[in-house]
A and B are shown apart, each in its own frame.
Chain A
Amino acid sequence: MAEENWIEVGKVDSIDMEDLIRFDHAEKTFCVYRIEDGFYATDGICTHEEVHLEDGLVMDDEIECPMHQGIFNIKTGEAISPPACDDLKTYPVKVENDLVYINIP
């Protein structure tokens, strides 16, 4: 069982539906997404080049990099469209008392 280290990201309302916010913590950067199926989190930087995904396009359960159009699955982190070929790391997310938390090991 992975060690649990739940960090508060913010209020549920701080993330629009089908959108994301950038969340920085302990010198690392993440993207926290809100889609129809719930809240999800991945690493913030595209695996293709050093570009933050915070300005990317969220559609259904996919995030598309704003620089070179690499696409990842938000739930699994899988790189599903080139030029991205390495997957994004994903992190568990939970909602409690209207607050969103990310589990960062």
Chain B
Amino acid sequence: MNSLKKILIIGSGQAAIYAASEFRKNDKYSSITIFGNENHHPYERPPLSKEFLMDKKKKDEFLFFSKNFFDDHNVCFINKKIDSVDFKNKYLISFDNKKYFYDKLLITTGSTNRKVEIDKEIDNEIYYLRNLDEANKIKKKASEVNNIAIIGGGFIGLEIASSLNQQNKSVNVIEISNQLMGRIIPSPIANLVKAEHEKNGNKIHLDSKIKSIEKINDAFKILLENDHIIETEMIIGGIGSIPTTDLFNNSDLELKNGILTNKYNQTSVENVYAAGDVSNFYHPLYKKNIRLESYQHAQNQGINAGKNIAGIKSEYLSVPWMWSDQFDLNLQLTGLCDDYHEIIERGVDTENGIIHFFIKDDKIVGACGLGLVGKVGRDIRIASKLIEKQTIIDKKILSDLNQKLNPLLKK
């Protein structure tokens, strides 16, 4: 029989809560404590840029599980910032100088928004969206203004642009590259997303580097390098994120674009595990380390960590998948789309869904779909399963709308 253990989790996001839940399924008696530094119980983040900003959902509607989860599962939640970790003697020190000893530690500190650096006075006035408090600040300020500029045309910037547009705000999106959502999204799909924003009145500025920002009274004048001027009352930054590893900078923990972990969520320090955005993990399917920032990844890797911490050896094999909702469109992306031989398209309009399959050696390695809600999910999911099984496929079926893709799973 295993002896009772003390399990501590730093960070209180999706990976943490699912790890705790999974651990408890496999170990009824050891203690689990989650340390969060937000003044809230763990909540889902996807609604922050969408339903929450649009006043369609309140905080209580997107808490993880029920409010009774912590009592029902005997999981302790402590709202405290952790200041340091002593890996040798296996304890954490909180900001109020208390020690918390562990037998096994899970790190789920997530990621931190990259900040715009223009000029100190202006930088401090830029809003970001990572957590509930920041979403509240954006919501409050947005309610007081009409014109909003968003720096960065990635997923988060575009979701905010969509939500604020639906609150009747005039929105400018400034993107430094020549397409939205980075090179990972096929340009025809990125162009359809751009067209949807423009159809709804958002102004999208591609190839646009900011030259300067000037504050005039309560407003800002943004000068682009192409000499275009955008006047706005509020600026929101959405230019990506970096793994939150500051706490471990001078420790034995091996860091490289996040915390290096193996396929069992183990870090370079014994009895220390990592999961979610912060982990740069070895993926057996790709035979390399990857770092992902997505809802499904945080959930599934959290579950995998919970199993391994409970002593059940479990490889993390989940195929990457993420989604974004903007206006009436749902975008889904699965696999890795950075190494392929050809792209096969399925579908002709967003009403019924368009999917681009990335093919290498007659296998699907990635897929990106865009359509009205529900229209691409099934085929993207089929693609995920085919990627996982590395199935050789008949490529003609992929582009033939008269043939369903489900039978491919039976091969």
Contact = CB atoms under 8 A, between A and B. Distances in A.
Nearest to B378: A57
A103 B303 CA distance: 38
B145 to A, nearest CB: 30
Interface string B309-324: 0000000000001010
B377 A65 contact: yes
Contacts of A82: 18, 299, 303
A69 B374 contact: no
A67 interface: yes
B327 interface: no
Interface string A17-28: 011000000000
A66 B406 contact: no
Interface in B289-342: 295-296, 299, 303, 321, 323, 330
Contacts of A66: 374-378, 381
A13 B299 CA distance: 39
Interface stretch (A1-9, A48-56, A90-98): A48-56
A52 B296 contact: no
A64 B303 CA distance: 19
B373 interface: yes
Contact of A68 (B65, B303, B323, B404): B323
Q: For chain A, what secondary structure do more than half of its interface residues adopt (helix, strand, loop), or is it mixed?
A: loop
A99 interface: no
A67 B406 contact: no
Nearest to B371: A55
A95 B167 CA distance: 49
A67 B409 contact: no
Interface in A25-76: 51-52, 54-59, 64-69
A21 to B, nearest CB: 14
Contacts, number: 49
A83 B323 CA distance: 14
A32 B330 CA distance: 24
Nearest to B56: A50
Size range of the interface on A?
20 to 34
B328 to A, nearest CB: 13
Interface in B369-410: 373-378, 381-382, 404, 406, 409
Interface string B140-158: 0000000000000000000
Interface residues of B, number: 21
A18 B406 contact: yes
Contact of B378 (A16, A51, A55): A55
Given A18-B406, A57-B382, A57-B406, A67 B299 contact: no
Contact of A67 (B18, B44, B65, B323): B323
Contact of A69 (B18, B321, B375, B382): B321
A68 to B, nearest CB: 7
A39 to B, nearest CB: 18
A64 B374 contact: no
B100 to A, nearest CB: 28
Interface of A: 16, 18-19, 51-52, 54-59, 64-69, 82-83, 85
Given A57-B378, A66-B381, A68-B323, 16 more contacts: A16-B404, A51-B374, A52-B374, A56-B378, A57-B381, A58-B406, A59-B406, A65-B377, A66-B374, A66-B377, A67-B373, A67-B374, A67-B377, A69-B321, A69-B381, A83-B44
24 contacts: A19-B404, A19-B406, A51-B373, A54-B374, A56-B374, A56-B378, A57-B378, A57-B381, A57-B382, A58-B406, A59-B409, A66-B374, A66-B376, A66-B377, A66-B378, A66-B381, A67-B323, A67-B373, A67-B377, A68-B296, A69-B381, A82-B18, A82-B299, A83-B295
Which 9 pairs of residues, A with B, have the shortest CB-CB distance? A66-B377, A55-B374, A57-B378, A66-B374, A57-B381, A66-B378, A55-B378, A82-B299, A67-B377
Interface of B: 18, 44, 65, 295-296, 299, 303, 321, 323, 330, 373-378, 381-382, 404, 406, 409
